[in-house]
Structure 1
Amino acid sequence: MLLLVGSRCTLAGQDAVLVITRGGTYSGRYESNSSERACIRIATTEPVILENCVLRGPGRLIDATTGGARLTVRNCRGYGLPPTIDNQARGRFLEINSGVSLRVEHNYLEQTAGMLAYQWSGDGSAAQTLTVRYNSARNIDGRYRNGGGAHVSFLQLNEVHGVGHIDISWNQVINEPNNSLVEDNINLHNSSGTATSPLRIHDNYIQGAYPVPATAPKFTGSGITMDGDASSALTTTAYADVYRNHIVSTCNAAMNIAAGHHNVFHHNRMITSGLLPDSTRLPSTYSGASIFNFYRKPATVFFANRIENNTIGFVSWGRNSPSPDRHDLSTGACAECTGTTHLPGPITLQLEQQELKNWQARLAQTGQVAGTTATTP
């Protein structure tokens, strides 16, 4: 089914199955069979709503990279298919460059490379900002078909500078070991809110960040990371308020501040048992939380970051902080981590499983669901 409301499109475009050239509401099923062909490409700066779509393909499912997009995506389902060329990951559910407005709500994405917003041309008002809420994702996947993979995230903002009213909340992300490859589930790279309107990341449930194979000894991903190599306070990652998130079973780390200024993590829960579902130990867990100047920037770029009043139980085999086989706060890299509640051990698989139930109970109190709320065609 294809629903067009006050709109114009081109079917069977060369670089996309559907090319949208005029604003309106679009619904339907679109499937690509090539990593180099998107399911839908937005080629207009007029407002576009994608609603009740089902998208399948090995490449980008929604491509809004031509600039100036004003896009709403709601109640859509996106399924990534295996890549058709070597050295390339499955496509992202959504990629937007220099967008004016983006609202992504109540969608389901599976086996995709997540979402990326690169730069921003909106003014940061409530009508020209980014909102990513109430979505459900399973198995963010950056693997290549010929081995190895790319660094991908459920959501990355890259060079989105000084944008107010950004809200990333109430998303459920579950990655399965050996069936996914995610780096940081949420990554801010040289991206920022403002002093008066901090970028908010809150009330999300994030489970799983593993190497491939999951028992490999090294991994660099996390649940949520503030990142970026910018050399000025204006262009680094800054003014992020990150709170009430549940970060479960992540190798390497749960939450990191590795760049920027005025980033605050508070009242989050970080729980990692250090075990696979069959109770095999995960050797690449490191620490729950850390603040470290990874890019070695001066005090004019890296400053005023805090991690406070979080609840942590993070197993890291062989370490001892605050107790044997724990590393809740990264030793030597968490001087600004205060008020931590260290969960009593043991940190078990059952404790991880309970965390999802607890978050879903909180979600129900909002009267919302994570994922689609309508029957797709």
Structure 2
Amino acid sequence: MGPLKRRAAPWLWLALLAGGPGVAACASHHATGDATLVITKGGTYSGAYASTASGTACVRVATTEPVVLDGCALTGPGNLIEAGEGADLTVRNCRGRGLPPTADKQAPGRFLDAYRPRRLVVEHNAFVQTSGIVVNRWSGTGAPGQTLTVRYNLARDVDGRWRNNTGSTHCSFLILNTVQHVPGVDIAYNEVVNAPGQSLVEDNINLYNSSGTAASPLHVHDNFVRGAYPFPAAAGQFTGSGLTTDGDAKTVDGATAFVEADHNQFVATGNAAMNIAAGHDIYFHDNRAITAGYLPDGARFNAGHAGLGVFNFYKQPATVFFGHRVAHNAVGYVKWGGTDPAPDRQDLSPGACAPCTDTEHLPGPIGWITEEGEWRTWQQKLRKAGVAVGPQLARAGSVSK
């Protein structure tokens, strides 16, 4: 996506155990091959499911009857869960672990790859070393309850690297690809931590030609995202972010639209924390964006561009790219050679943040200790809200290390 758009606290492995040019690759990852379990009848399913090949899913949902995956343990190099057209799927209290790809030019599989579902709830799961969640289009009619919620999940090391590091696939913690005009979408209280050298994520959250409604905006709030690094992490070129509104639609009806993103924390994100690269009626407010200029090993983090950016990457007409607001965000973003609001800072993208108002420029120096402070703030926030992330049932299956 252009240089503006495009990519701790402890890494908490023990806790886990107890858009743009990448969209085509992400969307086409949905497989039609084998699966360890193929569900053809509605109901609640639990258990441990494993695959050994990139082309084999652990679980495939092949029914439009309501299905609940509850307390499953999933391991494999391919997609851990796949859901087909018209799926009514709830995934909760599951644990997933991606394994290295068994085929060339393949990334680790998705935790969940859903194609045209009509209802999707993904809550209280934990997954590591997968290429995240993709929801590719939508078949719901807008009837009550036919919506999308992704909440209270714990993700570690979203990874698009091919085997033997011969290339990569753009991937995200969550990408919505052409999920349009859906009311009630709630993406909240997810905790995503990507370690340098162990992950390769593009936009942690990518909204591509996806939209809520004027009365019910697509809501992304109260998430904690730490880490969007190139590979190797000290490299200077990177095109990911914390969150980006994305998409090449040329009509107002098809564009990313009616999005509200607030009270999120984006930490250590190369390139940018939050970008509006496409769409209309998008509102970013009361977020925190903190990126230090160093990696945990003391090396310089060279992949920074700017904390916040608003730019018409796809050159959409004025009838499509309009109505943006970016207000009351707290930013401390280190870019070596930057100038805003001080040397080696770039809180706002140069010449590409006209709608950004009332920005709180955090006092320097912004360093590793500042990023660690954001982790503590997140933990306090969870306690205050009475929220726990990750699986909640003692009977949930475990994933071996």
TM-score, normalised via structure 2 length: 0.90
- Could you say which residue in structure 2 is the equivalent of 1:371? 390
Please name the residue that 1:73 is paired with.
91
- For the pair 1:253 / 2:272, whether they are aligned, the reply is yes
Q: Structure 1 residue 68: deviation in Å? A: 0.3
Overall identity of the aligned pairs, in %: 56
- In the alignment, does 2:120 pair up with 1:105? no
Q: What whole-Å deviation, never above 9, does each CA across 1:186-219 have from its counterpart, x for those lacking one?
A: 0000000000000000000000001100111100
Deviates more, 1:320-329 or 1:362-371: 362-371
Residue 17 of structure 2 corresponds to: none
State how 1:198-213 maps to structure 2 within 5 Å.
Answer: 198-213=217-232
**For this pair of structures, how many residues does the alignment match?**
364
2:156 aligned with 1:138 = yes
Give 1:153 shift: 0.2
Let me know the Cα RMSD of the aligned residues: 1.0
Q: Within 2, Cα distance between the matches of 1:367 and 1:255?
A: 27
Query: 1:268 Cα deviation (Å)?
Result: 0.0
Greater RCO structure (CA 8 Å; 6+ sep): 2
Aligned equivalents of 1:14, 1:191: Cα separation in 2: 28
**For residue 294 of structure 2, what is the aligned residue in structure 1?**
275
**AA in 2 matched with 1:266:** H
Question: Does 2:140 align with 1:127?
Answer: no
Distance 1:177 1:88 in 2: 20
Residue 239 (str. 1) matches residue 258 (str. 2): yes
Q: Does 1:116 pair with 2:138? A: no
Amino acid in structure 2 at the alignment position of 1:141:
D
Question: What are the superposed Cα offsets for residues 81-132 of structure 1, whole Å, 9 maximum, x if unpaired?
Answer: 0000010100000011111100000000100000000111113345100000
**Measured at CA, do residues 52 and 317 of structure 1 come closer, stay the same or move farther in structure 2, by a change above 3 Å?**
same
**Residue aligning to 1:95:** 113
Contact 2:37 2:49 in 1 (8 A): yes
Would you say 1:148 and 2:167 are equivalent positions? yes
Aligned letter for 2:148? L
Which residue does the alignment assign to 2:22? none
1:276 and 1:145 map into 2 onto residues whose CA distance is 24
Say if 2:33 and 2:55, in contact at 8 Å, map to a contact too.
Answer: no
Listed one character per residue, the Cα deviations across residues 10-64 of structure 1 (whole Å, up to 9, x for unaligned) are: xxx9610000000000000000000000000001000000000000000000010
- Residue of structure 2 in register with 1:49 after alignment: 68
Q: Which ranges of 4 or more aligned residues in structure 1 deviate by more than 4 Å?
A: none
SS of the counterpart of 1:363? helix
CA contact (8 A) 2:108 2:160 kept: yes
Q: Give the whole-Å Cα distance in 2 for the aligned partners of 1:14 and 1:143.
A: 21
Distance 1:308 1:125 in 2: 33
**In the alignment, what sits opposite 2:215?**
196
Q: Secondary structure at the match of 2:145?
A: coil
Quote the residue 1:5 is aligned against. none
> Which residue of structure 1 aligns with residue 345 of structure 2?
326
- Equivalent-residue separation in structure 2 for 1:126 and 1:73 (angstroms): 19
Q: Distance in 1 between matches of 2:293 and 2:133?
A: 27
Contact 1:125 1:165 in 2 (8 A): no
Alignment of 1:299 with 2:318, yes or no, is yes
State the match for 1:160 in structure 2: 179
* Unaligned ranges ≥5, structure 2: 1-31
Equivalent residues of 1:124, 1:165 under 8 A apart = no
Which is richer in helix?
2
Name the TM-score, length of structure 1 as normaliser: 0.95
